Amino acid sequence: MVDDLRWASALSVAAAIRSGELGPAEVRDAALERIDRFDADLGSVVIDLRERNLPPADGPFRGVPTLLKDAGEELAGTPTWVGTRALRAEGPLSSTTTPFAARLESLGFAIVGRSACPELSAGASTEPPGFSPTRNPWDLSLSAGGSSGGSAAAVAAGLVSLAHGSDATGSLRYPAACCGVVTLKPSRGRVGCAGAAGGPDPAGVWTQFALARHVEDLTALFAGVAEPWPGRRVGLGPQRAGVVVDDAVTGHPTHPATAAGVRAIAGHLGLLGWRVDPEAPSPQRPLTRREWHAMATFADHVRGVQVRWVAERTGRPPQLGDLSGSVLEAAARGS
């Protein structure tokens, strides 16, 4: 079965390990071999953790190799760069393992590396200054998206079956769309996590999850990491959904296949008892544009928080070259 691991689901690999058909070391070595063989062209893995040889927990994903996005979540005794030249050069190691990363390992995942992200995990393309760009495995001349571009490219290329990602304003969803893999941004409060860098997320919109090729893997992962939703009995009582297929931010036309997919999901929700408005109004396009401007203003404040975090890690204020000029300018505006 080891020859089929490249495209197998994480759950099927874990089942083969539990049955004794495959050994955890065999599965891990196969993933590392794929990374060594294919990732020179992709640039999806930035930190190699193969020497971190921890035995996998006996969870639903026992022994399944995965990647931890190089942003926010940390592993004790390993580096965290967040796409910055400063942290890569200085090489500080994390002192603790953050809760979501610990949860992945408790579910049985074997974290074999850290996946690429843009500088400070900000951007819709994974091309941090001073690093190799992450390329789309379907066409190496195209972007893998961002900010979870490294994870999306690795999953799409079959290096791992599932990889960690995170999202505030599209960082799971953009790369999933670019690379043809599946993801979910959990609703706020369902998955506890650290921010992209610099501790808690000041905006409260950052969340952790994953990208995968198989929906059943995402379903099982969500069951393993989601917290109860305080004050709401999820799945009980009438739920409401409105169908919106246009682009409220840019006004670009929606691809017919995308619109058909959205409407198909809405129809399925109707069969499940949801109240579905098939012609919901566009989500307040003027309001959306004002919010977009406000979000950009707040992003400058977040950059300041992140720059101070980098300074704490390196022991000195970042200079031009440690971080890009655009980041330093945004932090100055934010102050």
Annotated catalytic, 141?
Answer: no
| Active-site option among 69, 115, 143, 151 | 69
**In the chain, count of helices (H) and strands (E)?**
10, 10
Q: CA-CA distance, 45 to 12, in Å (whole number)?
A: 24
- The rounded distance, in Å, linking the Cα atoms of 240 and 246 is 19
Out of 9, 115, 125, 147, the active site residue is 147
Angle at 207 between CA 204 and CA 212, to 5 degrees: 165
CA–CA separation, 235 and 238 (whole Å): 8
Catalytic residue among 115, 125, 161, 171: 171
Residue 93 per-residue DSSP state: B
The conformational region for residue 325 under phi > 0 = left, psi -120 to 50 = alpha, else beta, is: alpha
Q: How far is CA 1 from the centre of its chain?
A: 28
Q: Is the peptide bond before 147 cis (omega within 30 degrees of 0)?
A: yes
DSSP state for residue 2 in the 8-state scheme: G
Q: Is there a catalytic annotation at residue 185?
A: no
**What is the amino acid identity at position 136?**
N
- Active-site residue 132, yes or no? no
Structure tokens, 130: 């001073």
Residues with a catalytic annotation lie at 69, 147, 171
